């Protein structure tokens, strides 16, 4: 077109980014790649093609790893790990810094290669992905430097198996590798089979900057390779980002294995617009929420909830904006939506949208490229929460919308999902925004913004969006473990005796559910004998229905989770006061049942422990993260919710008190299964609770078989976490069952726990009792 | 854009066939429901230059369009007849002939020449038959604090002197004290005084305190009958910015949606680079559509922008970077 013609149309024309350097790099490897193991590129094996989704032309051939290659990578990582850890924080910081610098110096090569391989617009890889990658390495260079002074009780986990998705190939690599290396771990990383090229280019960066051989290993291939990594016994930790279905399988296959696990999974994140919002800005927020990276974003704001009075206006604004989105060649700098990563994904998106007959569909199909893997921006309004498009993750540029009337209804609709990754709130009312943020079940909340990320702010989900955080100090938990070693825990069996009544008046121990003493649903009890074989009383045998009732009671005690630390502290102190008043009775009960002499010590330790967590109740503070925006990123410690715990068999009082106090202090509702051999200590304890103003349903105490109850608790979808310190080996049962709703688990794998109480141990209970929420609050008026 | 597309005999701005904004009654519910989230607006504004890129002959065409939309301005105490003549001559021939020939574009001129009242007749005479409208700043520009009757009289005098467009300033105090009715009535009076001359309403956005105030003021100005809303006098410490522009063009869009009237936008001050002008054009195209990319609905209030655009055009034509002295000064 000549200048005069352009003056008529005022089109943008094309502004293609040159890809010759990326193509040269591929050619320098002859278009064929092996794995990167122990500092070297291996000979290629079982080659398969990787394509440019925008053109569907092949880019290169990469290797499907054999089990031999995976083993070799893990072995290399294992061998060098102690040396890498011993290199020290400063030594590792220098390497991470060099990686950050390298990514800056070669940023355009990484960006163009990423866009070629993934199909995302070059603007996004150039302005968002790659700068965040650099930032992640810089930030974690600092974490390596500070580890020794700031985390004295932490050490590396060991060899980390890391499996990453195709939507942000290099960014997810950095989220995994940077913190792992900073903390002294070595890694075997598998990029997604659609998008392995930037990981292989990164491998070259590792060679160039002198990452010691074996510290970073990259093996390519499909999900089968991922399974090999997950199931390998020589892996200490698995970090996975991907679909909830695969995450669930990984949870099951690693259950009971002592492999540390973090999962960053799917989402159906709400984007809530109130009638006083800046609607035009909310529309731009949606562009960043659902049309960023073609909607292939785990935290995409894919569920629009809009206040009824402004719904039509907002829909019209969205539709108009959709018409100005430019879809096409991702290498064009003026493109907003690039290609969907693979024809399979395209089919999936099309199918989900075609199968839906509800609501009103609006798509902008003009100017769709004729070839390549593209899907038009799509809006479906007038849906209800019962429609599958409001529930299912689509992972494409498809926005599903419905309306609400009040803030309360908005909260309920927002939380009406199995997921809990992110949420956006749009309103000019600070009271409304800040009031809503704690009520939303999501790991990340953006107020009047969306898809903001930074290395210093934790990112991760609640519910079936997974567990663990990436970024910030909290992200380091996944890559460290306590320095103390644990001894094996031998099973502790109930004492045996003969059934002779000893009391003048029968004392009936019951279950304690919803603030009431109740008989077990099963109608069974078992006799409990003291150390001398003398009958002490019957303990009720709780069954699955009692668990159900306790969880229901906890559900109704939600007010406790919204209460404040000051109130919780007072109640914990009050429990301590009342326990102290009956200290002798509890001491002799413990001595009697266990046959020990430390009952009095244990009671005193329990009172001490109640004081400790009462003290923490209003002091386990959140933080403000140093993010590069005008605004705040708050790290909030929120209650996990409803926690079920199998209390330790040893320490029948101190164990249950520690778990209960920590959980309550942080605002959780606790379903506690007493020490199995010594249940009568716990049944005495509920009398104390009854007199200490503990709101009903906040704590339930059950007695019975750990083995029988663990499966029900693990699988109960209403529980948010299950812990086990039992001397029965139930860790595998719990972690396997937890996959139902991906609840958090904390199990002892049959090892001892330090109940005597060191400060770091106290912290572990607080951390397990809290879920971290990051709230982004950009601000400013001018 | 060829000169012949402009009717040389016109006295009122341009070949403007659009219906003028006649204004609507002040709707305070609407004004007060208007919101502007600063942080989100800044984020959006910052991506315009990165989200769109025009290259090569597209860039040349866009830069010519930018020239077509410039209000070439001189508003200085030391303006003389000679100075204004030179400005008018530049307005009629903004780009060196040889460059235009290379671009195969016959002729081009700027959107308007903008002067103080005393220079109107000089400019009108110098531009006779050329078809470039003359705009005059008015109403006690730049502070707008002279007596109301004098401000109205100033408009009337300027129209009498031959101005096609009147750039009025609003009383910022009415915004800062949220006296929307007073603001509305003031502008309504100015509009009446303008008669057939088109009225650009200068908000002096740098003095309004917040983007929210700018959004609301934009609406009130349009309700009162502004043909254009304009950011600044060029005399405030902060002049046109992308966030402010985004707020104002969104208000224009909402006003159009509600009333059907198309109101123009004029960012003024601070736009001195060719690249910056492209970002503005892109902002207008994205938010308001191609129709607004014409001098009827979009102007740059700028004095040094033209010179940078000329250099960029020569660069496009020759492939070598240009120098200021190769282009006739305004």
Cα(A177)–Cα(A144) distance, integer angstroms? 12
pLDDT at B14 over 70: no
> Is A756 inside any structural domain?
no
Distance in angstroms between the alpha carbons of the first and the last residue of chain A: 42
> Is A6 inside any structural domain?
no
Q: What is the pLDDT of residues A520-544, one digit of tens each?
A: 999 999 999 999 999 999 999 999 9
Q: Which candidate in B90, B227, B266, B308 is catalytic? A: B266
- CA B156 to chain A, closest CA, distance in angstroms equals 35
**If you count them, how many residues does chain B have?**
330
Residue A708 and residue A610 share a domain: yes
B324 touches chain A (CB under 8 A): no
pLDDT at B1: 33
Residue A275 and residue A254 share a domain: no
Residue A153 and residue A296 share a domain: no
Query: Measured on CA atoms in the order B56, B61, B62, B64, is the torsion positive or negative?
Result: positive
ipTM comes to: 0.94
CB–CB of B41 and A281 under 8 A? yes
Q: Which of B41, B104, B212 sits opposite A2 (nearest CB)?
A: B104
CB–CB of B105 and A333 under 8 A? no
CA nearest to A781 within chain B: B38
More confident residue, A505 or A27: A27
- CA B294 to chain A, closest CA, distance in angstroms equals 10
pLDDT at A288 over 90: yes
CB contact residues (below 8 A), chain B span 110-169, against chain A: none
> Is A632 inside any structural domain?
yes
pLDDT at A545: 98
pLDDT at B9: 31
- CA A329 to chain B, closest CA, distance in angstroms equals 14
Q: Which of B33, B57, B285 sits opposite A10 (nearest CB)?
A: B285
Q: Which of A127, A630, A780 sits opposite B50 (nearest CB)?
A: A127
CB–CB of B35 and A324 under 8 A? no
Cβ-based contacts under 8 A for chains A and B: 106
In chain B, residues with a C-beta closer than 8 Å to the C-beta of A329 are none
A10 touches chain B (CB under 8 A): yes
- Backbone φ, ψ for residue B265 (5° rounding): -130, 135
CB–CB of A630 and B39 under 8 A? yes
A215, HSE (Cβ side, Cα atoms, 13 Å): 27
Per-residue pLDDT band for A758 (boundaries 50, 70, 90) equals confident
In chain B, residues with a C-beta closer than 8 Å to the C-beta of A284 are 40, 43-44
CB–CB of B52 and A334 under 8 A? yes
Query: How many structural domains is chain A composed of?
Result: 3
> Is A660 inside any structural domain?
yes
Q: Which candidate in A17, A114, A264, A470 is catalytic? A: A264
Cα(B223)–Cα(B26) distance, integer angstroms? 6
> Is A17 inside any structural domain?
no
Q: What is the pLDDT of residues A116-164, one digit of tens each?
A: 999 999 999 999 999 999 999 999 999 999 999 999 999 999 999 999 9
Domain edge (last residue) among A409, A428, A460: A460
Residue A388 and residue A250 share a domain: no
Cα(A561)–Cα(A568) distance, integer angstroms? 10
Residue A348 and residue A239 share a domain: no
Spatial neighbors of B40 by CB under 8 A, at least 6 apart, are A278, A281, A282, A284, A285, A448, A449, A778
The mean pLDDT value for A754-782 works out to 91
Residue A283 and residue A258 share a domain: no
- CA A621 to chain B, closest CA, distance in angstroms equals 27
Which of A246, A308, A297, A278 minimizes the C-alpha distance to A422?
Answer: A297
Per-residue pLDDT band for A592 (boundaries 50, 70, 90) equals very high
pLDDT at A483: 87
pLDDT at A661: 98
CB contact residues (below 8 A), chain A span 313-342, against chain B: 324, 333-334, 336
Q: What is the mean pLDDT of chain A?
A: 96
Domain edge (last residue) among A432, A448, A482: A482
Q: Provide the 10 A C-beta neighbour count for residue A210.
A: 12
Q: What is the pLDDT of residues A632-679, one digit of tens each?
A: 999 999 999 999 999 999 999 999 999 999 999 999 999 999 999 999
Tokens encoding A609 = 């422990």
Domain edge (last residue) among A460, A491, A509: A460
The mean pLDDT value for A619-624 works out to 97
In chain B, residues with a C-beta closer than 8 Å to the C-beta of A12 are 52-54, 58, 282
Residue A606 and residue A579 share a domain: yes
pLDDT at A613: 97
Cα(A510)–Cα(A701) distance, integer angstroms? 9
Q: What angle do CA B171, B117, B3 make, to 5 degrees?
A: 110
Print the domain residue range for A732: 543-750+761-772
> Is A3 inside any structural domain?
no
> Is A779 inside any structural domain?
no
Residue A241 and residue A337 share a domain: no
Q: How far is CA A657 from CA A82, A131, A228, A513, A549, in A?
A: 38, 48, 41, 17, 22
Q: Which domains does chain B have, with CATH numbers?
A: 21-326 (3.20.20.70)
**If you count them, how many residues does chain A have?**
782
pLDDT at A759 over 90: no
A120 touches chain B (CB under 8 A): no
Please report, for the domain that includes residue A227, its CATH number: 3.40.605.10
CB–CB of B54 and A15 under 8 A? yes
The answer to whether residue A298 is catalytic is yes
Per-residue pLDDT band for A455 (boundaries 50, 70, 90) equals very high
B105 touches chain A (CB under 8 A): yes
> Is A499 inside any structural domain?
no
Tokens encoding A530 = 């003291």
pLDDT at B303: 85
Per-residue pLDDT band for B17 (boundaries 50, 70, 90) equals low
Cα(B180)–Cα(A743) distance, integer angstroms? 56
In chain B, residues with a C-beta closer than 8 Å to the C-beta of A334 are 51-54
List beta partners, residue A644: A671, A722
Cα(A733)–Cα(A713) distance, integer angstroms? 10
Residue A273 and residue A209 share a domain: no
Q: What is the pLDDT of residues A248-286, one digit of tens each?
A: 999 999 999 999 999 999 999 999 999 999 999 999 999
Please report, for the domain that includes residue A292, its CATH number: 3.40.309.10
CB A1 within 8 A of CB A168: no
The mean pLDDT value for B119-133 works out to 96
% of chain A at pLDDT higher than 90: 96
Cα(A732)–Cα(A722) distance, integer angstroms? 12
- CA A289 to chain B, closest CA, distance in angstroms equals 13
Q: How far is CA A515 from CA A551, A690, B294, in A?
A: 12, 7, 74
In chain A, residues with a C-beta closer than 8 Å to the C-beta of B105 are 3-4, 7
The mean pLDDT value for A211-235 works out to 98
Q: Which candidate in B167, B227, B296, B308 is catalytic? A: B167
pLDDT at A473 over 90: yes
Residue A244 and residue A319 share a domain: no
User: Among the residues of A618-750, which ranges form H helices?
Assistant: 654-665, 679-690, 706-715, 731-737
pLDDT at B100 over 70: yes
Give me the torsion for CA of B28, B30, B33, B39, rounded to 10°. Answer: -110
Residue A300 and residue A239 share a domain: no
The answer to whether residue A308 is catalytic is no
Q: What is the pLDDT of residues B206-243, one digit of tens each?
A: 999 999 999 999 999 999 999 999 999 999 999 999 99
- CA A312 to chain B, closest CA, distance in angstroms equals 13
pLDDT at A54: 97
Tokens encoding A261 = 């696990």
Q: Which of B40, B53, B61 sits opposite A449 (nearest CB)?
A: B40
CB A56 within 8 A of CB A372: yes
Q: Which candidate in A160, A298, A433, A536 is catalytic? A: A298
% of chain B at pLDDT higher than 90: 92
Residue A395 and residue A308 share a domain: yes
Q: Which of B1, B40, B285 sits opposite A281 (nearest CB)?
A: B40
């Amino acid at each position: 077109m000549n200048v005069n013609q352009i003056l008529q149309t005022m089109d943008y024309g094309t502004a293609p980014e040159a890809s010759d350097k990326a193509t040269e790099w591929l050619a320098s490897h002859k278009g064929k790649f092996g794995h990167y193991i122990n500092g070297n590129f291996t000979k290629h094996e079982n080659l398969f093609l990787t394509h440019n989704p925008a053109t569907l032309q092949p880019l290169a051939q990469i290797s499907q790893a054999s089990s031999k290659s995976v083993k070799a990578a893990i072995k290399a990582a294992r061998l060098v790990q102690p040396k890498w850890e011993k290199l020290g924080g400063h030594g590792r910081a220098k390497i991470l810094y060099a990686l950050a610098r390298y990514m800056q110096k070669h940023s355009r090569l990484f960006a163009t290669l990423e866009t070629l391989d993934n199909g995302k617009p070059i603007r996004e890889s150039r302005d968002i992905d790659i700068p965040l990658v650099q930032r992640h390495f810089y930030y974690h260079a600092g974490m390596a430097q500070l580890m020794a002074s700031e985390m004295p009780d932490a050490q590396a986990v060991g060899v980390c198996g890391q499996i990453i998705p195709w939507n942000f190939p290099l960014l997810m690599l950095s989220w995994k590798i940077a913190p792992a290396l900073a903390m002294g771990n070595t890694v075997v990383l598998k990029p997604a089979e659609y998008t392995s090229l930037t990981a292989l280019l990164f491998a070259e960066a590792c060679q160039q900057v002198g990452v010691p051989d074996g510290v970073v290993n990259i093996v390519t291939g499909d999900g089968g390779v991922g399974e090999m990594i997950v199931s390998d016994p020589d892996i200490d930790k698995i970090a996975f980002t991907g679909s909830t279905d695969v995450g669930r399988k990984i949870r099951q296959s690693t259950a009971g294995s002592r492999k540390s696990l973090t999962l960053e999974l799917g989402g159906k994140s709400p984007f809530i617009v109130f009638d006083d919002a800046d609607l035009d800005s909310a529309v731009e927020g949606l562009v960043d929420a659902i049309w960023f990276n073609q909607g292939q974003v785990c935290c995409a704001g894919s569920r629009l909830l809009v206040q009824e009075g402004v719904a039509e206006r907002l829909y019209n604004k969205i539709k108009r904006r959709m018409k100005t989105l430019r879809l096409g060649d991702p290498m064009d700098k003026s493109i907003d939506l690039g290609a969907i990563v693979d024809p399979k994904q395209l089919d999936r998106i099309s199918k989900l949208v075609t199968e839906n007959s509800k609501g009103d569909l609006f798509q902008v199909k003009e100017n769709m490229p004729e070839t390549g893997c593209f899907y038009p921006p799509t809006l479906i309004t007038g849906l209800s929460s019962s429609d599958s498009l409001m529930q299912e993750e689509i992972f494409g540029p498809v926005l599903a919308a419905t309306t609400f009337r009040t803030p309360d209804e908005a909260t309920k609709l927002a939380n009406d999902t199995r997921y809990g990754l992110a949420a956006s709130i749009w309103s000019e009312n600070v009271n409304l925004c800040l009031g809503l943020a704690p009520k939303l079940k999501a790991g990340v909340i953006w107020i009047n913004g969306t898809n903001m990320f930074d290395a210093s702010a934790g990112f991760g989900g609640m519910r079936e969006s997974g567990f663990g955080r990436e970024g910030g100090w909290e992200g380091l938990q996944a890559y460290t473990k306590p320095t103390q070693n644990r001894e094996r825990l031998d099973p502790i069996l109930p004492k045996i005796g003969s059934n002779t009544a000893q009391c003048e008046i029968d004392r009936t121990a019951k279950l304690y559910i919803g603030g009431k003493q109740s008989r077990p649903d099963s109608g069974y009890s078992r006799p409990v004998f003291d150390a001398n074989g003398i009958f002490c009383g019957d303990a009720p045998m709780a069954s699955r229905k009692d668990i159900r009732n306790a969880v229901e009671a906890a559900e109704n005690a939600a007010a406790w989770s919204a209460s404040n630390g000051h109130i919780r502290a007072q109640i914990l102190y009050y429990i301590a006061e009342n326990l102290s008043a009956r200290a002798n009775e509890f001491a002799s009960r413990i001595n009697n049942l266990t046959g020990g002499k430390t009952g009095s010590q244990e009671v005193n330790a329990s009172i001490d422990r109640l004081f400790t967590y009462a003290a923490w109740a209003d002091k386990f503070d959140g933080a403000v993260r140093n993010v590069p925006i005008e605004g705040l990123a708050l790290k909030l410690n929120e209650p996990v919710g409803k926690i079920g715990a199998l209390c330790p068999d040893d320490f029948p009082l101190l164990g249950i008190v520690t778990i209960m106090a920590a959980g309550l202090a942080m605002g959780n509702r606790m379903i506690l299964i007493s020490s199995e051999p010594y249940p009568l200590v716990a049944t005495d304890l509920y009398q104390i609770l009854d007199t200490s103003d503990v709101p009903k349903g906040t704590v339930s105490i059950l007695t019975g078989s750990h083995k029988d109850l663990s499966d029900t608790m693990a699988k109960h979808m209403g529980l948010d976490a299950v812990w086990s310190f039992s001397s029965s080996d139930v860790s595998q049962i719990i972690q396997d069952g937890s996959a139902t709703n991906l609840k958090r688990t904390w199990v002892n794998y049959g090892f001892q726990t330090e109940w005597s109480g060191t400060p770091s141990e106290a912290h572990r209970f607080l951390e397990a009792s809290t879920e971290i929420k990051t709230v982004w609050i950009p601000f400013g008026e001018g | 854009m060829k000169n012949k597309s402009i009717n040389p005999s016109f006295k009122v701005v341009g070949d403007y066939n659009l219906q003028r904004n006649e204004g609507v009654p002040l709707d305070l519910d609407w004004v007060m429901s208007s919101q502007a989230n600063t942080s989100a607006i800044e984020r959006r504004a910052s991506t315009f230059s990165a989200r769109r890129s025009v290259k090569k002959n597209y860039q040349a065409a866009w830069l010519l369009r930018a020239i077509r939309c410039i209000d070439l301005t001189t508003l200085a105490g030391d303006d003389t007849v000679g100075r204004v003549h030179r400005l008018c001559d530049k307005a009629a021939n903004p780009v060196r002939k040889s460059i235009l020939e290379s671009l195969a574009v016959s002729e081009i001129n700027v959107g308007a020449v903008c002067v103080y009242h005393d220079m109107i007749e000089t400019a009108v005479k110098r531009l006779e038959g050329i078809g470039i409208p003359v705009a005059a700043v008015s109403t006690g520009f730049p502070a707008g604090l002279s007596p109301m009757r004098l401000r109205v009289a100033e408009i009337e005098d300027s129209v009498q002197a031959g101005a096609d467009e009147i750039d009025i300033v609003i009383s910022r105090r009415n915004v800062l004290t949220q006296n929307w009715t007073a603001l509305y009535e003031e502008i309504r009076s100015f509009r009446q005084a303008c008669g057939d001359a088109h009225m650009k309403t200068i908000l002096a956005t740098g003095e309004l305190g917040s983007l929210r105030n700018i959004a609301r003021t934009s609406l009130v100005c349009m309700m009162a009958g502004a043909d254009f809303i304009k950011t600044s006098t060029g005399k405030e410490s902060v002049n046109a910015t992308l966030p402010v522009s985004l707020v104002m063009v969104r208000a224009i869009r909402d006003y159009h949606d509600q009333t059907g009237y198309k109101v123009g936008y004029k960012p003024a001050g601070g736009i001195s680079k060719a690249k910056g002008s492209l970002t503005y054009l892109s902002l207008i195209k994205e938010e308001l559509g191609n129709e607004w990319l014409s001098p009827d609905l979009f102007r740059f209030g700028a004095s040094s922008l033209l010179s940078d655009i000329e250099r960029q055009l020569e660069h496009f034509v020759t492939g070598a970077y240009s120098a200021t002295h190769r282009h006739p000064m305004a």
